[in-house]
């Protein structure tokens, strides 16, 4: 299994532990990652609100690199997934724009074949659809039995379904639950698991942003979760790094919910050293998690 790998900006910035855990977990699973070192930011939905065509052009550049390698693209960020899926769909419908973009890409010897499209999959989707949960189950060396894990998806990997291939894969809104169970952990579900973490408005309306995080974290804690797992580093930033500030909006006492990145959860189940997975590099201590392993 070989993929062009787009790590996203955040895994190389504020969430280095995500990148570190992914590049260790992938080989353990036999997944070969060919990193697009020269790839650019997807725009995270922000550049597209400034100018949609620019955002599409930026994404097409990454796609062209993957197409040149003749590989499907893997990402480790719900936000990247949403933006990339959106661009693929839009450029399929807009050959005129695709042609215009290709004129610019041609100057660095790239071309994006919009008609062909590109398979772009978050690590979560790869695990369930390409790798297979049975295989994952068979590779578990450290069953996480006793660890109560709640899912947190991130909006862009769930909505809108019409952009995200739900016609073909209707269960994509249940994959995290399926993975949590496959690694032997105890699943905890709660109402906010598919809602917004609040990150996109952190610098715009901090109170609203932190209230969202606090609501979901409080609910999860009330339902008994030891930790949450997310495929989105932006959600991680709001749920983990901002958690100390979100406490004041919490609806439970003593809010403390560690947040794992998806590759970290997988790595722990594969028996890897938590340190190697950088589980210690979080704002909210993961001791509660490690003590239950």
Partner 1 sequence: MEVRLKVKRYDPEAPPEQATRYQEYTVDMPENATVLDSLIEVREYHDGSLALRCSCRSAICGSCNCRINGRARLACKTQISSVAGENGEIVVEPAGNMPVIKDLVVDMAPFWSKVRAVKPWLQPEGPPPEREYLVPAESMTALAEVMNCIMCGACVSDCTSLEVDKSFLGPAALAKAYRFVGDPRDDATLARLRELSEPSGMWDCTRCNMCVQVCPKDVKPMEQILKLRSEAVHAGIKDNNGSRHTLAFVELVDANGRLDEFRLPVYTEGKFNFIGQLSYLPSAPRMLRAGKMPPVFPHKISGIRHVKRIFKRFEKKPGLPFRPAGKGGH
**Under the rule (CB under 8 A), what is the footprint of partner 1?**
9-10, 12-17, 37-41, 43-54, 57-58, 61, 82, 101, 104-105, 107-108, 155-156, 158-161, 195-196, 198-209, 211-212, 215, 241-242, 244-245, 278, 281-283
For the sheet with 120-122, list strands across it: 32-35, 2-6, 73-75, 120-122
Per DSSP, the residues of 216-277 read HHHHHHHTT-SEEEES-HHHHIIIIITHHHHGGG-SSSS----EEEHHHHHHHHTT--TTTT
Nearer to partner 1 among residue 221 and residue 269 (C-beta): 221
Cα angle 48-53-55, degrees, rounded to a multiple of 5: 45
Distances (CA, A) of 14 to 21, 103, 231, 240: 14, 34, 15, 11
Give least dist CB 78 to partner 1, A.
Answer: 11
Give least dist CB 200 to partner 1, A.
Answer: 5
Give least dist CB 252 to partner 1, A.
Answer: 16
Q: What is the CA radius of gyration of the chain?
A: 19
Nearer to partner 1 among residue 15 and residue 118 (C-beta): 15
Q: How far apart are CA 48 and CA 80, in angstroms?
A: 12
CB 91 within 8 A of CB 97: yes
In which element (H, E) is residue 85 found?
A: helix 78-93
Give least dist CB 168 to partner 1, A.
Answer: 17
Give least dist CB 131 to partner 1, A.
Answer: 27
**DSSP label of 81:** H
Nearer to partner 1 among residue 127 and residue 241 (C-beta): 241
Nearer to partner 1 among residue 29 and residue 228 (C-beta): 228
Query: 89: which residues sit within 8 A by CB, 6+ positions away?
Result: 163
In which element (H, E) is residue 25 found?
A: helix 16-29
Nearer to partner 1 among residue 43 and residue 165 (C-beta): 43
Nearer to partner 1 among residue 51 and residue 273 (C-beta): 51
Token duo for residue 140: 């578990």
Token duo for residue 228: 């949450």
Nearer to partner 1 among residue 140 and residue 187 (C-beta): 187
Nearer to partner 1 among residue 142 and residue 159 (C-beta): 159
Give least dist CB 148 to partner 1, A.
Answer: 22
Give least dist CB 52 to partner 1, A.
Answer: 8
Query: 148: which residues sit within 8 A by CB, 6+ positions away?
Result: 185, 186, 187, 188, 224, 225, 226, 227
CB 239 within 8 A of CB 15: no
Give least dist CB 242 to partner 1, A.
Answer: 7
């Amino acid at each position: 299994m070989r993929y062009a790998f787009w790590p996203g900006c955040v895994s190389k910035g504020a969430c280095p532990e995500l990148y570190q855990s992914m590049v260790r977990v992938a080989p353990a699973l036999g997944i070969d990652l060919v990193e697009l070192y020269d790839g650019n930011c997807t725009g995270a939905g922000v550049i597209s609100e400034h100018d949609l065509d620019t955002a599409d052009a930026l994404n097409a550049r990454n796609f062209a690199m993957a197409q040149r390698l003749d590989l499907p693209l893997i990402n480790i960020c719900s936000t990247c997934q949403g933006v990339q899926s959106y661009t693929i769909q839009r450029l399929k419908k807009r050959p005129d724009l695709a042609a215009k973009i290709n004129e610019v890409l041609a100057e660095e010897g790239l071309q994006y074949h919009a008609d062909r499209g590109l398979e772009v999959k978050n690590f979560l989707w790869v695990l369930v659809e390409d790798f297979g949960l049975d295989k994952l189950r068979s590779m578990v060396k450290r069953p996480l039995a006793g660890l109560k894990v709640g899912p947190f998806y991130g909006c862009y990997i769930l909505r809108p379904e019409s952009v995200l291939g739900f016609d073909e894969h209707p269960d994509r809104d249940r994959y995290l639950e399926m993975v949590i169970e496959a690694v032997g952990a105890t699943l905890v579900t709660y109402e906010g698991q598919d809602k917004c973490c609040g990150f996109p408005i952190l610098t715009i309306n901090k109170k609203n942003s932190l209230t969202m995080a606090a609501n979901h974290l409080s609910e999860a804690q009330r339902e008994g979760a030891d930790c949450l797992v997310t495929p989105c580093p932006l959600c991680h930033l709001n749920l983990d790094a901002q958690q100390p500030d979100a406490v004041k909006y919490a609806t439970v006492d003593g809010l403390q919910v560690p947040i794992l990145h998806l590759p970290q959860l997988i790595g722990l189940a594969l028996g890897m050293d938590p340190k190697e997975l950088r589980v210690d590099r979080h704002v909210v201590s993961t001791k509660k998690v490690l003590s239950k392993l």
